Amino acid sequence: MIRVRGLSKSFGALQVLNDCNLTVRRGEVVVVCGPSGSGKSTFVKCLNGIETFQVGEIVVDGRSLKLRGREADRMRARVGMVFQHFELYPHLTVIENICLAPIHVLKRTRQEAQAKARALLARVGLSDKEAAYPAQLSGGQQQRIAIVRALAMDPIAMLFDEPTSALDPEMIGEVLAVMLELAREGMTMVVVTHEMGFAKAAADRIVFMDKGEILEVTETKRFFEAPKSERARIFLSRILGH
Ligand code: ADP
Ligand code: MG
């Protein structure tokens, strides 16, 4: 489904990704972790064409992202992305936020888009919020809406970049629950997170990054029992130790 080969990327003189390789199968859930600044955000942004890259190849569902421009634009519409900050449009209601791209990019009718939006809102328990504005919602609710907005595009895969790290602790669980359900339904997912409980429950494999490199890609149980790399061992003892 997603195949990354020899991916390298620099911002000017700063090399941020160095020869990264990863294959994600259809329906697989991969959690990406590693120290701050190791290139996790840049890596997932490359996967749906938000970031360009200089070296290597990314193939998503048989389409190469090596060719930028139009192909990357198309990929952005087919691969859903949820960021740390909710990034809902503040001047639009919940249902308008969700229907915007399906109407303008997928050319769905307003009725079709709204029917789909309502079904998705029901799934995340937010049917009563369709006419609310983002500022009237909690952070956890906004993030669940951001997930719904991405799902409304019928994505072939979903990418998450620290979706719960800006949330108050009591709201983290409700967002992870939605993500866990998606994982169980068979969505192909790449999730940057330090929520190791989620990783253990949902991930098939763990990608560990450090200094722009993918140091290991390890089956989840094995990663937590005995990571292959020394740096992953140190990282794990730090985040599980506190
Ligand atoms: P992570 O998500 O693992 O914390 P990032 O992918 O955000 O790491 O960043 C990796 C490195 O790339 C960092 O050194 C960061 O400062 C740098 N970086 C990220 N985005 C940019 C940018 N737009 N311009 C220049 N440097 C950047
Ligand atoms: Mg990041």
Q: Best substitution site from 9, 15, 16, 18 to test ligand 1's pocket, by max atoms within 8 Å of Cβ? A: 16
**Cβ(212) to ligand 1 under 6 A?**
no
Query: Which whole number is the average pLDDT over 31-47?
Result: 96
Q: Which pLDDT belongs to residue 49?
A: 84
Residues above pLDDT 90, as percent of the chain: 86
Q: For residue range 132-150, what is the model confidence (pLDDT) as tens digits?
A: 999 999 999 999 999 999 9
Q: Residue 72: its pLDDT value, please?
A: 66
Average pLDDT of the segment spanning 203-209: 98
pLDDT of 239 above 60: yes
Say if ligand 1 is within 6 A of residue 48 CB: no
- Report which of 25, 29, 9 is spatially closest to residue 17, judged by C-alpha positions: 9
Q: Whose CA is nearest to atom 21 of ligand 1?
A: 11
Query: Looking at the predicted structure, is the pLDDT value of residue 4 above 90?
Result: yes
pLDDT digits (tens, 9 = 90+) for 191-201: 999 999 999 99
Q: Is the pLDDT reported for residue 31 higher than 80?
A: yes
φ, ψ at 125 (rounded to 5°): 70, 30
Asked if residue 242 has pLDDT above 70, the reply is no
The span from the CA of 116 to the CA of 152, in Å, is 7
Counting ligands in written order, which one lies closest to the CA of residue 11? Answer: 1
The mean per-residue pLDDT over the stretch 179-199 comes to 97
- Is the CB of residue 111 below 6 angstroms from any atom belonging to ligand 1? no
pLDDT at 28: 98
- CA–centroid distance, 212 to ligand 1, in Å, is 9
Q: Answer with the residue of higher pLDDT: 64 or 241.
A: 64
Give the mean pLDDT of 166-172: 94
Amino acid type, 235: F
Of 42, 207, 214, best ligand 1 pocket probe by most atoms within 8 Å of the beta carbon? 42
**Alpha carbon nearest to ligand 1 atom 1, residue:** 37
- Tell me whether residue 61 is exposed, middle or buried, using C-beta atoms within 10 angstroms of its C-beta: 0 to 12, 13 to 18, 19 or more: middle
Strands 79-82 and 157-161 turn out to be parallel
What's the average model confidence in pLDDT over 93-109? 96
| 225-237: pLDDT as tens digits | 999 999 999 999 9
The closest ligand to the CA of 162 turns out to be 2
The pTM (predicted TM-score) of the whole model is: 0.95
Tens-digit pLDDT profile for residues 62-84: 888 765 566 667 777 789 999 99
Closest ligand 1 atom to 12 CA: 25
